[in-house]
Amino acid sequence: MTAPQNSIALSPSAAARVAWIAQKQGKPAVLRLSVEGGGCSGFQYRYGLAEGINADDTVTETDGVQLVVDAVSLDLVAGCVVDYVENLGGTAFKVENPNAVAGCGCGSSFAV
């Protein structure tokens, strides 16, 4: 799955997981992805259920679940796909970010 260059995408498996978490917490099925300075590679991803959508957010929807990214973070994650993976190492949300030139072993931080 790929996202157009200036947008974001949420995979069906990530959408299903967000919907499950939101239902368990009694919150809207809206995942906010943001980027903060820090982490072992320079920037780190932050996830959380959003209570609402801001006027400057970029929004995409998959299977009734929304993914929102603020305008500042969008420059660093444009074209990314947020996926949910399950393997022997555990389960996690994973960002496939075409802007990242380096990342850490845990996949939670990156450099551009």
CATH superfamily, region 9-111: HesB-like domain (2.60.300.12)
3-state per-residue secondary structure call for the chain: CCCCCCCCEECHHHHHHHHHHHHHHCCCCEEEEEEEECCCCCEEEEEEECCCCCCCCEEEEECCEEEEECHHHHHHHCCCEEEEEEECCEEEEEEECCCCCEECCCCCEEEC
Domain segments of the chain as ranges: 9-111
pTM (two decimals):
0.82
pLDDT tens-place values along the chain, 112 residues long: 555 556 899 999 999 999 999 999 999 999 999 988 766 667 888 999 998 899 999 999 999 999 999 999 998 899 999 999 988 878 888 888 887 765 555 555 555 5
